[in-house]
Every structure is written in C-alpha cells, then in structure tokens.
Amino acid sequence: MSPEEVWGERWISASSSTARAYMQVAASKQSLVCLAADKPTMAELTELINAVGPHIAALKTHVDLVNDWTPEAWKDFCDRAKAMDLLIFEDRKFADIGGISQHQMGGIYAIGAWSDLVTAHLISGPDIVDGLQAGWADYGRSGGVLLLAQMSSRGNLLVPTYTYEVVRLGTEHGGVFGFIGNGSRPTELSALRSKVGSEKMIWTPGVNLKTGDGAMGQRYGDPTQAIIAGSDCVIVGSGIHKAEDPAQAAKAYAAASWQGLLERNG
C-alpha cells in the first residue's frame, strides 16, 4: 500500500518532510513502532538495533544513560540506524530558556549533529523551539521538536489546560514536528487528537502488549488501541528490549500497530 492510501488525511495534511519520511518508512515496513533503546552499553545497543531494525520505523535514544559512550561508537550506531531508514529521536526533554537549549544541543554529546527529532517541555515558553532549531542550525542541519503535551507516568502535572496551551502554541510553529501523547489512555489520546487536528504527529510512550501498571509509576496501554485513538507512532521500550526474543517482540508490536492504522483508516 502507498503511504497516501494507508495514512489518508495525515499524509495529505502533513507539512513536514520529516513526517512524510516517517510515514513512508512506516508504510514500507508495516510498522508504526519507535524503539526506546534504553540499554546501558554500546554493545547491547548495537545488538538490539541489529536484531529489531527491520521491524521498527524510528529509534529513540537517551544518550546520557550509556555507560561506555564515545563519539566514535555513537557515530557507528547512528550510521547503522540511518542505513535501516530510522529517524533518530533523542528523548532529551529539554526545558530551559531558548538560548541555553540551543547550547545544550551541543556539548560533548552534540545532539544537534545526529538527532532528527528531540523532545521538549514548553514550560519555559515557545522560544525553546527556536533555540532547538538554532541548535540544529549550528551543525548545518534541521530537525523537528516533539512537545510533551501529555505523559504516560502516573500523577504527572500536565493537566488538560496545560496540554491544550501546548497544542495551541505548538500547532502554529513550523519547527514543531508534533506532540507526545499518553499511550496508556486511549480516551486522553482521542481528546488530544481532536485538539491537534491532522497536520501534526502524535507519538506515544506508555505502550505494551501487557497493559496495566509498570515500574515506578509507568502505565501501559495497548498498541492497537493507541493507534486507533489517534497516535501515529507507538514508542516501545521494555516490551521489546526486555523480551526473550526482541526481534519476535518487535514483529508483534509492528503487527499490532499496523492493524491499528488499517482499522483507523487514515
């Protein structure tokens, strides 16, 4: 199926070339899964991506939790992801003023040099998005910001009035790729989608085939239900990387997410 056939309105209304690139890869791999690659060593990260790369459409990282990080090993890892057509999404959750966020895209990790997407809170105001864009520009690159409109964790403080202000400000900004929504609660997600409209992406953590409560306040919802409720990408960590057979698990999440997109019908 062509991306337009399967994504319908979202494909037609997307203004971002990165969003279209994602939708194209997702359609060709029949997977709306972003792997949360939360492994502490470069060897484990490499082994994981080699195993699951064909079944995922994007890669989410936490660069600052890797114990043996080196610029060279990270470059190899990113090159591997690129060869598998994966967007690289650093879940850094920036929150500072614009100018500092720009410089935080640099530093030893040089996030602006290799990330295609980053997460940010909008708590400090909309200039953070310009700061992050300037951070990519410092490396002669561009990228997209995913604003945290909701979170998956229990007791979080992103109340609906805050969520909708984030959506109001974020939908107007060309540097905003989309929003993070709560994958564990389909009703919250449908409400978010109706505010966001069809142009921007909603990506959702808090997804597991085994629904219910996770460790330390994490909550999990079902991948198919999250997509039907309006998510465009399910972010899955332990459901894949803690499975006995990560490749098989990634395949199962891919199938569940794809089924959701077909049921949603664009």
Nearest Cα neighbor of 249 from 48, 15, 4 is 48
Compute how many residues bind ligand 5BU; rule: CB under 6 A. 19
**93 tagged catalytic:** yes
Q: Which of 91, 116, 188, 222 binds ligand 5BU (CB under 6 A)?
A: 91
Q: Does 214 bind ligand 5BU (CB under 6 A)?
A: yes
**Residue 225 and residue 235: Cα distance in Å, rounded?**
13
| Contacts (CB under 6 A) with ligand 5BU, residues 26-65 | 36, 38, 62
Q: Which of residues 167-206 bind ligand 5BU (CB under 6 A)?
A: 180, 205-206
236 binds ligand 5BU per the rule CB under 6 A = yes
Gyration radius of the chain over CA positions: 17
Of the candidate residues 3, 170, 237, 246, the single one contacting ligand 5BU (CB under 6 A): 237
Query: Minimum Å distance from CB 206 to ligand 5BU?
Result: 5
Shortest Å, Cβ 143 to ligand 5BU: 17
Shorter beta-carbon distance to ligand 5BU: residue 5 or 213: 213
Q: Which amino acid is present at 213?
A: D
**Which is catalytic among the residues 29, 75, 93, 251?**
93
Contact 234, 227 (CB under 8 A): yes
| The two three-digit tokens of residue 61, written as one number | 């990282």
Q: Which two tokens stand for residue 232?
A: 């465009």
Count other C-beta atoms under 10 Å from residue 44's C-beta. 16
If binding is defined by CB under 6 A, does position 239 make contact with ligand 5BU?
A: yes
Alpha helices in 138-196 (DSSP H): 160-171, 186-196
Question: What gap in Å lies between CA 84 and CA 53, rounded to an integer?
Answer: 6
Residues that bind ligand 5BU (CB under 6 A): 36, 38, 62, 91, 119, 148, 151-153, 180, 205-206, 214, 218, 235-239
